[in-house]
Amino acid sequence: LRLLVSQLELSCIAGHDGSGLLHLHTETGIHYTVVSTNPRDVDRVLVLSGPMDAVAVAVGMAAGCISLHTSVVRFPKDPPRRDRNVVLRVLVNNGVIPHVVGVHGRKIEEVGERSGAVLNLGRVLLQGSNEKVLNVAGVQDAVQIAAYLVCKTIAERED
């Protein structure tokens, strides 16, 4: 699974010394790679690979990190919250988009209904790429379930 992440989101996930990514690997068994085509780019691609269940758990953990460390300023005594919305940008190859979206958008609607997340597919290919951005928005658990269902659809297509 390929995620498009901002530098801020990546720093939340990875930690200042990379220990966050190592933690994702240790806890889930996934493998990760961070790709940057140009050092001046604001966004990076975080590639998570491994068994579908493990990748989905890693996505949920990443969503949790992002929701806790971005957007809203927290005070020291505020407890961590799992109900804060987060948006993850999943990169989807143009060749599998019809299968992810489904006929008349039914498949993507089903993923949204089953997960509780809101999914929105970008209309244009990323510059110099064969991928579009699938925005997955919701609370941590909803994003994790949606990631699993999207991964499952992509894996079924590749078989």
First to last CA, the chain: 16
Q: Is the pTM of this model over 0.75?
A: yes
CA distance 31 to 48: 6
CA distance 155 to 5: 22
Among 9, 28, 4, 30, CA closest to 92: 4
* pLDDT tens digits along 23-33: 999 999 999 99
* pLDDT tens digits along 67-125: 876 544 444 445 455 567 899 999 999 999 999 999 999 999 999 999 999 999 999 98
